[in-house]
Amino acid sequence: MDTKETLENKVDLEKVKEIRKMVRRRYANRKNFAKIFSSWDKEGKGYLTIKNVHEMLNNLGIINYFIRLLKLIKSIIKIIIYIDNKNIDNYK
């Protein structure tokens, strides 16, 4: 695995940090992190693949959390657009 590969300019690094915090909170009291890591590293390669991370995030419920969050944001945007359009109609 190329150690110079980063997520910079590929994904929102703030979201990566947020996910990292969620994982840390979830496993803060676990003593045997190597065992946890091994359970995520399904192929036993010594590093996590995108597939491993996706499965881990899905098992932790993080993916569903972000999907629900995005749906909420979408609803809020629709409400804002609706209110804005109503206000525009009042100014005509």
**Model pLDDT for residues 46-80, shown as the tens digit of each residue:** 887 888 888 888 888 888 888 888 999 999 988 88
Please spell the DSSP secondary structure of 4-62, one letter per residue.
T---TTTS-HHHHHHHHHHHHHHTTT-S-HHHHHHHH-TT-SSS--HHHHHHHHHHHTH
Residue numbers of the domain that contains 73: 13-91
User: What is the domain count for the chain?
Assistant: 1
Residue 7 domain-assigned (yes or no)? no
Q: What is the pLDDT of residue 92?
A: 55
pTM of the entire predicted model: 0.41
Residue 41 domain-assigned (yes or no)? yes
pLDDT of residue 83 exceeding 70: yes
pLDDT band for position 1 (50/70/90)?
Answer: very low
